[in-house]
């Protein structure tokens, strides 16, 4: 079976930690063939199917030049055994448009994971609103007055943009309210953009846990991304240290409650972010942490994922 990965440029991969590479390596070990393209390579014209200018790739087993690729060729997405949308955030207009092209490919017979409509319906910051019983006090607004009232109630808060990734644009404001007005102006662009505000969770010092859910079932280990030094952000991209650990009873409770619901909507792979006992984000675009969990625990996350993919395709 051929697997088509819609992803960032292959040349940008850091394969020692890249989850998409982990998927590719496991799939190739099972005899599946691989091809890849970027969202910009998708194309549709009336009278024909959605096609991709793709490259067939072979893994070399090397760390530097880790793949070899054939010439680009136009192939209908419906001819692939499966299409895996693995483009990293941000979920910008071009990502949005790509999901519509992938949705058209689905109508033509392509099997796309995660399902394009589900990607659109679950923005990673806002998807938690559906599950208020698991989240910390949270506010979504454009209003500076609303933010100030929330701060007056909770005293120690986190503010973040809705389209950020890797910890970008996250601010903490303590009880003194220092720079709150300036931070709100920066994030909401004078009332033009919506932001999210959450009560600060001191458990962040023990890590922002990534809980992977595959085919509706939780992986038994999370990766706790622990802030370093004076940082408040545990994101690995912001310098956090990743420490794999068994799921806590609360982690498992959240994952087992959300997993079947999200899987039924076409989300084969989900990354839940949990701080302490609270769900903070639901990541669906390109969840990561496969390599770190596998290296530290021996639990082969990529094997679990390809098992679930093959099961979904039966």
What digits encode the pLDDT tens for the residues 174-190?
A: 999 999 999 999 999 98
Catalytic residue among 106, 283, 292, 304: 283
Mean pLDDT of 132-141: 98
Rg (CA), the chain: 20
Catalytic residue among 18, 208, 273, 292: 273
Residues 6 or more apart whose Cβ sits within 8 Å of residue 288: 17, 18, 19, 210, 271
pLDDT for 240 equals 82
* 148 has catalytic annotation: no
Q: Which of 274, 296, 272, 299 is nearest to 284 (CA)?
A: 272
> Is the pLDDT assigned to residue 168 strictly greater than 90?
no
Segments of the chain assigned to CATH 3.30.1490.20: 137-200
* 281 has catalytic annotation: yes
- CA–CA separation, 56 vs 44, rounded Å? 20
* 160 has catalytic annotation: yes
* 314 has catalytic annotation: no
Q: Considering the domain 137-200 in this protein, what is its CATH number?
A: 3.30.1490.20
Catalytic residue among 75, 115, 199, 210: 210
> Is the pLDDT assigned to residue 84 strictly greater than 70?
yes
> Is the pLDDT assigned to residue 166 strictly greater than 90?
no
At the topology level, CATH places domain 203-312 in: D-amino Acid Aminotransferase; Chain A, domain 1 (3.30.470)
pLDDT for 309 equals 98
> Is the pLDDT assigned to residue 236 strictly greater than 90?
no
* 40 has catalytic annotation: no
Catalytic residue among 75, 125, 199, 209: 125
pLDDT above 90 coverage of the chain, percent: 90
121: confidence class by pLDDT, cuts 50, 70, 90: very high
Segments of the chain assigned to CATH 3.30.470.20: 203-312
* 225 has catalytic annotation: yes
Contact present, 222 and 209 (Cβ < 8 Å): yes
- CA–CA separation, 135 vs 197, rounded Å? 12
Catalytic residue among 208, 225, 235, 292: 225
Q: Considering the domain 2-114 in this protein, what is its CATH number?
A: 3.40.50.20
Tokens read off for 169: 């644009």
C-beta neighbour count of 178 within 10 angstroms:
10
Query: Can you give the pTM of this predicted structure?
Result: 0.94
pLDDT for 164 equals 77
Catalytic residue among 55, 199, 209, 233: 233
Catalytic residue among 160, 199, 209, 304: 160
311: confidence class by pLDDT, cuts 50, 70, 90: very high
């Amino acid at each position: 079976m051929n697997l088509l990965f819609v992803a960032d440029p292959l040349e940008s991969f850091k394969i020692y930690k890249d989850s998409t590479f982990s998927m590719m390596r496991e799939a190739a070990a099972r005899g599946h063939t691989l091809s890849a393209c970027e969202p910009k390579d998708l194309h549709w014209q009336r009278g024909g199917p959605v096609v991709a200018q793709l490259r067939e790739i072979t893994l070399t087993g090397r760390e530097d030049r880790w793949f070899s690729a054939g010439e680009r060729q136009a192939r209908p997405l419906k001819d692939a055994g499966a299409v895996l949308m693995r483009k990293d955030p941000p979920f910008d207009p071009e990502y949005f448009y790509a999901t519509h092209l992938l949705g058209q490919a689905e109508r033509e017979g392509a099997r796309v994971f995660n399902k394009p409509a589900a990607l659109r319906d679950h923005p990673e910051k806002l998807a938690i609103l559906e599950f208020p019983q698991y989240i910390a006090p949270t506010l979504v607004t454009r209003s500076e007055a609303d933010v100030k009232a929330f701060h007056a109630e909770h005293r120690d808060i986190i503010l973040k943009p809705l389209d950020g990734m890797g910890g970008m644009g996250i601010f903490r404001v303590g009880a003194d309210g220092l720079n709150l007005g300036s931070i709100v102006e920066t994030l909401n662009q004078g009332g033009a953009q919506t932001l999210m505000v959450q009560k600060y969770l001191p458990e962040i010092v023990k890590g922002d846990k990534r809980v992977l859910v595959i085919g509706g079932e939780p992986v038994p280990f999370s990766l706790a991304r622990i802030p370093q030094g004076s940082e408040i952000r545990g994101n690995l991209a912001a310098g956090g240290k990743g420490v794999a650990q068994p799921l806590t009873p609360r982690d498992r409770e959240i994952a087992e409650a959300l997993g079947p619901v999200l899987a039924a909507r076409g989300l084969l792979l989900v990354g839940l972010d949990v701080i302490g006992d609270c769900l903070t984000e639901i990541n669906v675009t390109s969840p990561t942490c496969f390599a770190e969990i596998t290296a530290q625990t021996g639990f082969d996350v990529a094997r679990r994922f390809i098992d679930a993919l093959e099961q979904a395709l039966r």
